Amino acid sequence: MFSEFRKFILRGNVVDLAIGVAVGAAFNSVIQSFVVNIITPITTIFTGGGRFESKHITVHGASITYGSFINSLISFLIVAAVVFFLVVQPVNKLTEMALKKKDTGDPETKKCHYCLNVIPNQATRCGFCTSELKTKKA
Q: 6: number of CA atoms within 13 Å, CB side?
A: 3
d(CA 51, CA 68): 10
What is the mean predicted confidence (pLDDT) over 102-120?
80
Its pTM surpasses 0.85: no
**Predicted confidence band of residue 122 (pLDDT cuts 50, 70, 90):** confident
Answer yes or no: do 108 and 96 share one domain. no
Asked if residues 112 and 134 have their Cβ atoms less than 8 Å apart, the reply is no
Domain that holds residue 94: 2-100
Number of domains in the chain: 2
Q: Say yes or no: 48 and 36 in one domain.
A: yes
| Mean pLDDT for the chain overall | 82
The pLDDT, as a whole number, for residue 136 is 61
pLDDT of residue 36: 83
pLDDT for 61 equals: 92
SS3 5: helix
Instruction: Flag whether pLDDT at 137 surpasses 70.
Output: no
pLDDT score of 32: 87
Question: Based on the domain organization, do 133 and 89 belong to the same domain?
Answer: no
Angle (deg, nearest 10), helices 12-34 and 2-9:
50
What CATH number has the domain bearing residue 75?
1.10.1200.120
State how far the Cα of 109 lies from the Cα of 131, in Å rounded to an integer: 16
**pLDDT, tens digit (0-9, with 9 covering 90-100), for 18-71:** 888 999 899 889 988 888 888 878 877 877 777 777 788 999 999 888 888 888
CA trace torsion 136, 134, 116, 82 (10° rounding): 120
Query: Do both 28 and 94 map to the same domain?
Result: yes
> Do residues 118 and 129 make contact, with C-beta atoms less than 8 angstroms apart?
no
